[in-house]
């Protein structure tokens, strides 16, 4: 399962690789999904429903069914406050938002859209929900974001955030998914909808200044004055996404020495460099997708890239280029828990089971409790909301942390505040986050970490589910005794959806992607690259050689 790197990876995308936007939008309007085809049904992964109109997995019918299901969910849950609605810069996000408005208006839901009718980052939606609901017990708000995150330009996505402001829990998304698929199977006959112009002129449609509220509140979570005084030069690449105008407003308001290196917004994302597989993908954790900013690393003291909905971050330093996401998480945790005196002594560290074990060692050094969860930021929402988690992060370059006073900032990943945190670290320690990580690694032990991706069919994912439920006996990993085989998270007992095998100096985990047709093998070694390859090889052999027990579904 070694990654097959496309020869064009890291190179500019050519005209032949660009999506046909008019054809994509036509497919959105005219395509009719087949409810009997699993790939064309509504499927909420770890972060909403994603697909493409060209594959029959993200068409107008999907949005009609999903938003009607959300309206029904609001009614059954007693959620009757406003719904904050936003979108990113993907081509399908605009028509999907229009469709959503038609359904929401028909159900007389008060909808708050951007006052400038611009793009809205995911963390700004979370911030707005939390701000509106603060101090309220009734009339609570929730939110919808039209985004497939970092997915390719032909994809669309929709995710629902309940009144807690973060990703919905599995029970909620499961109910919405089942209801939406029932509506699809019934030919959408129970979907309420009014024409777009009527929805636009409805008295239930309101405006909200997401940007001003978010930007004005940032000094309560990041020390912007220290960044300004230090003169730290911050490079910024929004990757053509929703953070562009937010970064411009931050630079203007706070006078920091920052520069946006590319202000392009283009639904084909033709300005991007190709990702590892030759596709255009706005993945700010990929050195191939981030090649432009990495090439400018000597121009800045530190730099940040965001994905199109700005819930993820990629940190670029002079010495490291694009930092491994785990390395930045380690540096961020070490810095925050020694520079936030307003956080209580019980504030814990949240990490996913597939994030680096160096985080475990940092937590032990800091004397902080570590909470391990399955993949998906939804598992951190309760801890951030109640401030029992000071910091929560995922290996896929998504994280959030508390305000200076120890209260919640967002319950969604926030790539903007994490980018500013990289500048704060540089300003206050005199070294960039890469330098801070190397210092920590020299004390706690250096590791080699890698994630491998491979295509996965529905049948492949079903086999992995059986592997997690009925793991074979595993006693040794790369020459060391196995310490634990985990199918559920130690922090909350929720299923990983795969399997993790741990030894003293290495571990691996295997699980299907919740957002793409892939399965993933994560591995880490504290004994170097050769040992890592042994760990990976044994993980691949386990997956390839696993034969479901007789009678198990295949």
The DSSP 8-state label assigned to residue 298 in this structure reads: G
Cβ neighbour number for residue 406 with a 10 Å cutoff: 14
Size (the chain), residues: 554
How many CB atoms within 10 Å of residue 494?
16
The C-alpha atoms of residue 426 and residue 256 are separated, in whole angstroms, by: 13
Name the active-site residue from 17, 47, 107, 149: 149
Find all residues with CB under 8 Å of 252, minimum gap 6, and list them: none
- Asked if 166 and 160 count as a contact pair (C-beta separation under 8 A), the reply is no
Determine contact, residues 66/98, Cβ cutoff 8 Å: no
| Residue 149 among the catalytic residues | yes
The kind and range of the H/E element at 429 are helix 415-429
Residue 543: which H helix or E strand, with range? helix 529-545
User: Rounded to an integer, what distance in angstroms lies between the CA atom of residue 63 and that of residue 82?
Assistant: 19
Integer angstrom CA distances of residue 373 from 169, 383, 417, 495 = 13, 11, 22, 9
* Strand order through the sheet with 234-237: 258-260, 234-237, 302-306, 313-317, 321-322
Q: Hunting for tokens 């959503």 — which residue is that?
A: 100
d(CA 253, CA 247): 10
d(C-alpha 478, C-alpha 158), whole Å: 41
Residues paired with residue 224 on neighbouring β-strands, in sequence order: none
CB 426 within 8 Å of CB 295: no
Residue 469 to residue 184: CA distance in whole angstroms: 31
Q: Taking each helix axis from N to C terminus, what angle separates 358-366 and 433-444, rounded to the nearest 10 degrees?
A: 80
The catalytic residues are 149
């Amino acid at each position: 399962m070694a990654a097959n790197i496309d020869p064009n990876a890291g190179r500019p995308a050519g005209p032949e690789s660009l999506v046909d936007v008019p054809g994509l939008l036509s497919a959105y309007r005219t395509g009719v999904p087949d409810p009997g085809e699993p790939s064309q049904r509504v499927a909420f992964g770890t972060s909403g429903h994603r697909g493409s109109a060209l594959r029959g997995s993200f068409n107008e019918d999907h949005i009609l069914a999903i938003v009607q299901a959300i309206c029904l969910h609001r009614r059954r849950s007693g959620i009757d406050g406003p719904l904050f609605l936003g979108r990113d810069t993907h081509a399908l996000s605009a028509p999907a938002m229009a469709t959503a408005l038609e359904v929401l208006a028909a159900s007389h839901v008060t909808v708050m859209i951007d006052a400038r009718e611009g793009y809205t980052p995911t963390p700004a939606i979370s911030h707005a929900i939390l701000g509106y609901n603060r101090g309220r017990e009734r009339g609570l708000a929730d939110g919808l974001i039209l985004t497939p995150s970092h997915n390719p330009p032909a994809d669309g996505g929709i995710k629902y955030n309940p009144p807690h402001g973060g990703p919905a829990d599995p029970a909620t998304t499961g109910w919405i998914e089942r209801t939406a698929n029932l509506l699809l199977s019934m030919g959408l006959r129970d979907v309420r909808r009014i024409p777009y112009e009527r929805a636009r002129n409805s008295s239930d449609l309101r405006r909200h200044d997401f940007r001003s509220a978010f930007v004005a509140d940032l000094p309560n979570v990041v020390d912007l004055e220290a960044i300004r005084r230090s003169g730290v030069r911050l490079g910024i690449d929004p990757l053509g996404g929703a953070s562009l105008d937010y970064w411009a407003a931050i630079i203007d308001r706070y006078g920091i020495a920052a520069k946006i290196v590319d202000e392009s917004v283009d639904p084909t994302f033709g300005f991007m460099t190709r990702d590892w597989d030759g596709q255009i993908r706005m993945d700010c954790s990929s050195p191939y997708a981030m090649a432009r900013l990495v090439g400018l690393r000597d121009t800045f003291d530190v730099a940040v890239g965001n994905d199109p909905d700005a819930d993820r971050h990629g940190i670029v330093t002079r010495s490291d280029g694009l930092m491994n996401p785990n390395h930045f998480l380690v540096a961020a945790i070490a810095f925050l828990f020694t520079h936030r005196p307003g956080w209580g002594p019980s504030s814990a560290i949240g990490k996913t089971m597939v994030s680096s074990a160096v985080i475990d060692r940092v937590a032990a050094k800091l004397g902080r409790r570590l909470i391990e969860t399955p993949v998906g930021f939804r598992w951190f929402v309760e801890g951030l909301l109640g401030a029992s988690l000071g910091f929560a992060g995922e290996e896929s370059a998504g994280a959030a942390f508390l305000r200076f006073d120890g209260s919640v900032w967002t319950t969604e990943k926030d790539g903007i505040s994490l980018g500013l945190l990289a500048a704060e670290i540089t300003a206050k320690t005199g070294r960039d986050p890469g330098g801070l990580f190397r210092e920590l690694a020299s004390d706690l032990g250096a590791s080699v970490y890698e994630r491998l991706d491979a295509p996965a069919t529905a049948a492949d994912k079903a086999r992995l589910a059986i592997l997690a439920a009925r793991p074979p006996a595993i006693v040794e990993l790369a020459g060391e005794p196995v310490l634990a085989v985990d199918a559920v998270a130690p922090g909350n007992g929720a299923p990983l959806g795969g399997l993790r095998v741990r030894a003293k100096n290495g571990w691996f985990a295997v699980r299907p992607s919740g957002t793409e047709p892939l399965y993933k093998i994560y591995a880490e070694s504290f004994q170097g690259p050769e040992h890592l390859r042994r760990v990976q090889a044994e993980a691949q052999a386990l997956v390839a050689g696993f034969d479901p027990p007789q009678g198990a579904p295949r």
